[in-house]
Amino acid sequence: MTRIDAKFAELNAAGKKAFVSYVMAGDPDYDTSLEIIKGLPAAGVDIIELGLPFTDPMADGPTIQLAGQRALDGGMTMEQTLDLATEFRRVDDTTPIVLMGYYNPIYSRGVDRFLMDAKLAGIDGLIVVDLPPEEDAELCIPAQAAGLNFIRLATPTTDDKRLPKVLQNTSGFVYYVSITGITGSAEAEATNVGPEVARIKSKTDLPVIVGFGINTPEKAENIASVADGAVVGSAIVSQIAEGKSVNEVLAFVKSLADGAHRA
């Protein structure tokens, strides 16, 4: 059982929905990023989604693209991203960390080396958005063999013919993208999301977490009420981009987490 599996078992036993927060590793700089990440569990975050900075993040909107650019401009690397996770694990050994990114940096490091290093750093799962199920032998299956969950995205365009393929080797949870388009580009609506979550849940026992288009505590509550939890990324990253203090960022995160936990 991974930390992700254990977290969902704990939430399920308590009758609670999950709140997942996304932050870009190294944004606005390594030390501030580490301070924010260390504060996330106390702010109510159940699972941390940690962005791996990359030069061509095709699924991400301008907010997260700029966060990645700030991190890269500050010298952030794969090595330092794993160091962030390692440092976090010195103070928290239970909160799951999902590394979200693209395949190129992983391929450059070498899959075997990357998986070994990620496991040692305390990473629990991977979201690699540019590797479709047809490429599972590349990273997904080796990751699962190494004890890491491989989390797949389903979208409004994932029809009933495609869905079984998407779910085939997915573990940990299913990430449902609530809108068509990039992160931060539109708002999620529970009336649209609910039936899609139900459709996915009819095909899998995995929790279904919804992200994209969630930017207020009310929206987090509404979306979590029709799913197993909610993910917020761009809205949190925007607070960091605006130069808010660590405490201000964490207070905003807590308001979102409280919303999701009310569902």
Active site residues: 49, 60
Distance CA 72, CA 52 (A): 10
Three-state DSSP class for residue 46? coil
Give the angle subtended at the CA of 55 by the CAs of 49 and 61, to the nearest 5°.
Answer: 60
C-alpha closest to that of 63 among 23, 96, 32, 100: 23
Distance CA 256, CA 259 (A): 5
Distance CA 154, CA 174 (A): 7
Distance CA 66, CA 63 (A): 5
